[in-house]
Amino acid sequence: MKYLICNLKANKTYDEMLDYKEALKNLNYSQVEFILAPSNIYLSLFKNTNFKLCTQDITLNEDLNLTGDITIKQLKSLNVSYTIIGHYERRKFYHETTYDILTKIKLALHNNLKVIYCIGETKEELERHVEYQVLEKELARVLNNIPTSSFKNLIIAYEPSYLIGTNDTCNIVKIKETINFIKKLIFDYYEEDIPVVYGGNININNIKAFTTISTLDGYIIGSSSLNPTNIGIILDNLTKC
């Protein structure tokens, strides 16, 4: 099974989202696990669609019902089945710690919400050639602290932070090596096969190059997901690889 995760972030007004919803009806995503992550205020628009719904984050304080928070129980009442946790933007701008991320992952898994766990090195870490150590630590901090029975509800999203939201050229060879490193590490240490997807400047111009990475289980796309035509092209390439 290949995955296509569309993270819309904080984009689109209500009327724009209605048009977007109509355009998605023209796409064929029957051969992939298509996962849509709109802003929480739009989740109800997609409650009865035949693809998977995802929230872009969950609260740390599940049981406190705090002002401004949204509980997992509320999310699941809208047929949400996935959540993104550990995204670089949450780490950078909201200063989410390893503790925060692990707590959210445990909460999600405990409540039968599947997790898309984001990991990735910074530009500075890449230049210091410590990217593999960074990725290993990010994986270990989570996988060592949850039961292996929960691994089936995990997707690892490898997103180098320096490529998120940019138009920089992707080094396909380097990305392939890193994906293979992640998958081998998981299998060697845990004897499990967790899906690994890639995110970071994927677009209609470079998607064919990404399909050459046979070990890749799919993609998580940001800006490219805002245009349904782009999604259709990426889907076509994904189903052919």
**Active site residues per annotation:** 87, 159
Which residues contact residue 192 at a Cβ distance below 8 angstroms, ignoring those fewer than 6 apart?
Answer: 148, 151, 186
| Beta-sheet strands, E only, within 49-204 | 52-55, 80-85, 114-119, 154-158, 196-198
d(CA 3, CA 112): 19
Q: Is 122 exposed, middle or buried (0-12, 13-18, 19+ CB in 10 A)?
A: middle
Dihedral of CA atoms 16, 19, 20, 26 in degrees, nearest 10, equals -170
Q: Tell me phi and psi for residue 143, to 5 degrees.
A: -65, -30
d(CA 69, CA 28): 34
**Which residue type sits at 121?**
E
Which residues contact residue 22 at a Cβ distance below 8 angstroms, ignoring those fewer than 6 apart?
Answer: none
| Cα R_g (the chain), whole angstroms | 17
Q: Is 136 exposed, middle or buried (0-12, 13-18, 19+ CB in 10 A)?
A: middle
Are the C-beta atoms of 59 and 66 separated by less than 8 Å?
Answer: yes
